[in-house]
């Protein structure tokens, strides 16, 4: 009996010491991880998927034209047409023309140089329905390019920017698909087409 009582007292004393030292407290559980961020709203995802991509800016068009002789002339040459801000820049160069003098040049309404006299190109390109005039006049045929001067070597050139024109396929003010004509005489600005005479050079402007 004495031994059992002593064991009970020893056991109770040991439990008391453990309790005093905190040995009887349970360990704290680890902190829970933060919740994941909420998914993006369905509307935002849909808008991101359906947002149109910006199309890259189109490069300005440039068209090269080869001129062929008409009406028995020996003219040869070329023209470069390039879209610029607000219009089309036309650079025209010819040779093989009788030395000296001015020669009218125009964009004509049809891209057809098949006839020997160049008349298959039709009349002046005039989508605005204006009277014929020289380039200094704002309201004129859109195809009125003015005159180029031929030097003693039979060569001549003309550089002019035509406001309101473009090179877009199918556009009402486009030079694409038309023709460039060089005439035998000076364009004097008179009606209906400047009294510029025969067509001595013709070149089809590509479309």
Please report the pLDDT score of residue 18 as a whole number.
Answer: 44
pLDDT tens-digit series, residues 101-132:
999 999 999 999 999 999 999 999 999 999 99
At 9, is the pLDDT very low, low, confident or very high (cuts 50, 70, 90)? very low
Q: Nearest Cα to 168, choosing from 180, 177, 181, 160?
A: 177
Q: Quick check: pTM over 0.75?
A: no
Task: Flag whether pLDDT at 3 surpasses 60.
Answer: no
Q: Quote the Cα angle for 24-28-35, to 5°.
A: 165
Give the domains, in start order, of the chain with CATH numbers.
Answer: 65-180+199-204 (2.60.40.200)
pLDDT tens-digit series, residues 28-63:
666 666 777 666 665 655 555 665 566 666 678 899
Distances (CA, A) of 112 to 123, 151, 199, 207: 11, 29, 13, 12
């Amino acid at each position: 009996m004495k031994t059992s009582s002593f064991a009970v007292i020893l056991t109770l004393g040991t439990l008391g010491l453990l309790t005093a030292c905190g040995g009887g407290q349970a360990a704290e559980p680890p902190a829970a991880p933060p919740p994941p961020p909420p998914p993006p709203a369905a509307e935002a995802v849909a808008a991101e998927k359906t947002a149109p991509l910006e199309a890259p800016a189109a490069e300005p068009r440039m068209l090269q034209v080869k001129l062929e002789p008409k009406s028995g002339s020996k003219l040869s040459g070329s023209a470069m047409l390039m879209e610029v801000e607000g219009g089309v820049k036309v650079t025209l160069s010819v040779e093989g023309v009788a030395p000296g003098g001015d020669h009218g040049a125009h964009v004509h309404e049809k891209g057809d140089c098949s006839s020997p006299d160049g008349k298959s190109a039709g009349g002046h390109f005039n989508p605005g329905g204006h009277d014929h005039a020289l380039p200094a006049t704002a309201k004129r045929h859109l195809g009125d390019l003015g005159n180029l001067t031929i030097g003693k070597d039979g060569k001549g050139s003309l550089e002019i920017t035509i406001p309101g024109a473009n090179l877009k396929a199918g556009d009402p003010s486009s030079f694409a698909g038309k023709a460039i004509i060089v005439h035998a005489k000076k364009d004097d600005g008179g009606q209906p087409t400047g009294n510029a005479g025969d067509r001595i050079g013709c070149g089809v402007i590509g479309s």
